Structure 1
């Protein structure tokens, strides 16, 4: 029982954390939540937060000691609309991204500095790394807006799978250079250090770890399209009616 004050990033908090907290509260009706969605990670101890769900390791948490726990992998992938790729072509390698319109998200302008516009990518199979400087006509501090611009065909975006899984499944977005991804932004639980963690907090963190452990936002595999027609049974012809015999007068 008791109140839990949490902070979380806007997109993940709205799409995934909010429903999870509602389910937890249904199981534990004496627990109350105050959830603050924000672009900047607050100083948890100074501002009275019990914890935060954040998409980075514990950076910029202020001067208070903190503890962290990784809840799930957060894979950011390159995506574009089919219309954009038809109009501009598909890049053959990561360096070719510099020749395309790329939609850049400035999530933290104060910390970005010279890293703004540089995508640190890693190949999923051989772990090759590449830091590619990209450019484009559109940039914003909103991942949701970047996703919408990509859907509208304005360029290539680097988005988390949890943000674009439905669009990938429907074919509204497709992966570009599918072997490459950005994986340095895993989903973490962060909390100020305290000698004894309340039971409600332990239950919540275990619940979230189990909920997100299998990455429920992973797109479902695309079903193969049938290329052969189903056999069609021929309609059975009704038996011909017998002609009645004519009577001889």
Structure 2
């Protein structure tokens, strides 16, 4: 799948989406990969616990189970194992395809900005037939603002308070979905501009947003 890096050809906004627990339910695949990693390394990992705190970079989870000087090597092993174990086990979140399509059908660009290792993020999207205009990986929380600014994203959609922080640093509208580890109240408290139950509500909200007074067709 080819991912364009060209700017939007129209005044419709560029919208960024997080991946894990926003566009994809990565819990089954990640759980299976942690279980396989535990068996491979002989180190106990509570995979059920690990998948309740998805969002931050892989190293932040591995440090709970491995000595600090082993985390980098174990992360490389996990990423190498991941495609064969996790990709086909991971479904799209309800409304994910429709949310991306809503942006593109309006003439905007849809990009994915995620903390996940970029090659594996692209494998997920290709497997599920979700076709964003660009995929940028290996960025977490405030770091996501780098890609959002580069692609002139006016909106960022995510499930974690880290996504809210990234949107705010990028001066993008923060749209949060309560489908990950952070409940709606926590997302609101973190400063999300909009909180949706899940992505099935996004096309309707986006349509209203395009016609509303707060629509920002170009970044300042």
TM-score, normalised on structure 1?
Answer: 0.28
Structure with more of its chain in strand, by fraction: 1
TM-score, normalised on structure 2?
Answer: 0.31
Structure with more of its chain in helix, by fraction: 2
Flag the structure with larger Rg. 1
